[in-house]
Amino acid sequence: MPGFRWIFLLCLAFTQNLWAFDGIRVTLLGTGGVTPSMERFGPATLVEAGDDVLLFDSGRGVTQRLAQAGVSIRDVGAVFLTDVGSERTLGLADLWLTGWLQGRRSPLLIYGPEGTQELVNNLERAFRAEVESRPEAQRKIGSAQARDIAENVVYESEDVTVTAIVVDHGLARTTYAYRVDLRHRHSIVISGAARYSENLIHSARGVRLLVQEVAAADPGLAESSERVRDVLSVHASPDVAARIFREVRPYLAVYAPIVLVEAGEDELMRRTHAIYPGAVELGHDQMVIEIQDEVQVRAGPSEPRQHRD
């Protein structure tokens, strides 16, 4: 019965389209810091919204984590750097050059604070011999186009708006958080290396998801080591992060990246919940957060946890 078969296929296609994912999918590709780790790669967060595939920071191992997530490197449309420090940019050359080799069809767009364009220009100089060995047509479509941005809307497509937010990192250079809005329906904020900041709180208040960096150390070590105190001084402590959550009131907060210096994850979460009783997840590499009418957190390949409205 050919007619019945076509009706069945049309109904199946309609049903699949009806139930297609229509929200924001966030994948924590890297949740570590500057210290090499096989469990936590360098800071990198993938955001898929509408037809846009966006990357926030490009730390060590980002291309490997993209491959594990089943996302082609060549499909990343734009990169947004929260900071130009090495821990957030070590994977940038790999992302650019490997994506090119895998068939990227347009220049890689890279946005970030002052110093981003200089960083990318220097990468192009470093790899000039390889770049110039390729055909001219390939060089054009495989280039990297960088732009130093100011606080404001920095990216717009049919579905997505990305806004840069100046935050306090405790350093002289400018550091950004980013807010991603999908068709005015769902919003997330990625804090980057943000300590307590009124600007962050104002821009993130009431979002569905806040991805917040955090750092903690053994109290005795923090007291005795100047180096550890220096590290902690440029990151949000669990107490500060909890204060941010309490004022922002996100639907869900997720810690990433996470810097632990002889401190345990349980203690990190205990300190957080002593101040903030809301929903907080401890991020790990390859964790997926899907935001639609419900917010689903996939800690692994099989077990989703739901935070319902």
CB 241 within 8 Å of CB 269: no
Q: What is the mean pLDDT of the chain?
A: 88
- Which tokens belong to 232? 């902690």
- Comparing 117-121, 130-134, 251-255, the range with the smallest average pLDDT is 130-134
Set out the domains of the chain in order of their start, with CATH numbers.
Answer: 22-294 (3.60.15.10)
pTM of the model: 0.90
Average pLDDT for residues 8-23, to the nearest whole number?
A: 55
* Residue 301 pLDDT level (bands cut at 50, 70, 90): very low
Q: pLDDT (tens digit, 9 = 90+) per residue, 215-240?
A: 988 877 777 777 778 777 778 899 99
Any idea which residue has 């069945």 for tokens? 8
* Residue 274 pLDDT level (bands cut at 50, 70, 90): very high
| pLDDT higher at 56 or 18 | 56
| pLDDT higher at 167 or 19 | 167
What per-residue confidence (pLDDT) applies to 299?
Answer: 73
What percent of the chain is predicted at pLDDT more than 70? 89
Helix or strand run (H / E) with residue 163: strand 160-167
- Which tokens belong to 58? 């490009």
What per-residue confidence (pLDDT) applies to 2?
Answer: 55
Q: pLDDT (tens digit, 9 = 90+) per residue, 153-177?
A: 999 999 999 999 999 887 768 999 9
What per-residue confidence (pLDDT) applies to 85?
Answer: 93
SS3 sequence of 252-308:
EEEEEEEEEECCCHHHHHHHHHCCCCCCEEECCCCEEEEECCCEEEECCCCCEEEEC
Q: pLDDT (tens digit, 9 = 90+) per residue, 80-130?
A: 999 999 999 999 999 999 988 888 888 899 999 999 999 999 999 999 998
Distances (CA, A) of 209 to 99, 218, 250, 289, 290: 29, 28, 6, 9, 10
Residue 158 backbone phi and psi in degrees, to 5:
-60, -35
pLDDT higher than 80, residue 10: no
What per-residue confidence (pLDDT) applies to 183?
Answer: 87
pLDDT higher than 50, residue 17: no
- Comparing 205-209, 270-274, 302-306, the range with the smallest average pLDDT is 302-306
CB 302 within 8 Å of CB 273: no
What per-residue confidence (pLDDT) applies to 3?
Answer: 58
Rounded to an integer, what distance in angstroms lies between the CA atom of residue 202 and that of residue 38? Answer: 36
Rounded to an integer, what distance in angstroms lies between the CA atom of residue 107 and that of residue 13? Answer: 34
- Comparing 131-140, 234-243, 271-280, the range with the smallest average pLDDT is 131-140
What per-residue confidence (pLDDT) applies to 34?
Answer: 86
| pLDDT higher at 291 or 17 | 291
Average pLDDT for residues 127-155, to the nearest whole number?
A: 87
Average pLDDT for residues 23-32, to the nearest whole number?
A: 97
pLDDT higher than 50, residue 306: yes
* Residue 138 pLDDT level (bands cut at 50, 70, 90): confident
Q: Which long-range contacts (CB under 8 A, 24 or more apart) does 32-35 make?
A: 32/59, 32/257, 32/258, 32/259, 32/285, 33/87, 33/215, 33/257, 33/258, 33/259, 34/86, 34/87
What per-residue confidence (pLDDT) applies to 16?
Answer: 44
* 133, 139, 142, 146: CA torsion to nearest 10: 110
